[in-house]
Amino acid sequence: MSESVNDAADTSNKPVRLQKILSTAGIASRREAEKMISAGRVLVNGATAVLGQAALPGSDNITVDGQPLTASEKLVYLMLNKPCGYLTTVRDERGRKTVMELVSGVNIRVYPIGRLDLNSEGLLLFTNDGDFANKIMHPSFNKKKTYQLKVRGDVHKAIGLLKLPVAVDDYEVTAVDAQLISQSNNGGVIKITISEGRNRQVRKMCAACGLIVDALKRISVGELSLGNLSTGKWRFLTENEVESFG
């Protein structure tokens, strides 16, 4: 039986930001929790919560979509080989397909770590462990992510440019590594490794270097590789794989 966060003993007696409470309870990542709060889906003592609000988990009555907040029975870690055509979000108000449909068999509430956009595929991690998610997403932990892309354009020139600081929006980024895997008449297949995870960063880097991306697939995060996991399938991480993230 899950322990109710609202009924749990409060040992610190200090208010905690709602997004952290939701993350710790395995409801969503902190970023997704902020969206849930902004959308009015979270109530504290019957009143609609606001972004930035704090609460006492052992004293305040916290509900999400009308349901009391509960802590997960156990911490869960899994990887999905995401296909194209699915949104990386817990819920879409427009009724579009989300990655949650692909992990419905887990039977424990989890949420995706980071993002792969609608037209991207590959390795996507899920968990109900907020600390684990933060280790992967926060830039200070320097978790490398590798992508394989099918592109059009001058791939030889682009490989050199990608290893230099590339202006993307209002900041500069540099690939940890960039390699040419194969070449065709009008482009080829390349592999790019980055240590950040800004919005559509790899696609924007390629565009800045004169490449058009026809397909993008994330093949590894940290020491974890996609391996032979079939498209649309998921599996639990092993204990060693979880520990590899520190």
DSSP classification of residue 4? B
Report how far residue 105's alpha carbon sits from residue 235's, in angstroms, rounded to the nearest whole number.
Answer: 10
Choice among 117, 129, 169, 170 that is catalytic = 117
Report how far residue 18's alpha carbon sits from residue 239's, in angstroms, rounded to the nearest whole number.
Answer: 29
DSSP E strands in 50-144: the ranges are 54-55, 62-64, 67-68, 77-82, 111-113, 121-127
117 is catalytic: yes
Q: Tell me phi and psi for residue 111, to 5 degrees.
A: -140, 155
Bridge partners (DSSP) of residue 190 are: 149, 180
Per-residue b or e along 151-167, where b marks 16 or more CB atoms closer than 10 Å to that residue's CB: bbbbbeebbebbeeebe
How are beta strands 212-221 and 121-127 bridged, if at all?
Answer: parallel
Report how far residue 90's alpha carbon sits from residue 32's, in angstroms, rounded to the nearest whole number.
Answer: 8
Report how far residue 97's alpha carbon sits from residue 88's, in angstroms, rounded to the nearest whole number.
Answer: 9
Q: Tell me phi and psi for residue 77, to 5 degrees.
A: -135, 125
Number of alpha carbons in the 13 Å side-chain half-sphere of residue 141: 16
Catalytic residues: 117
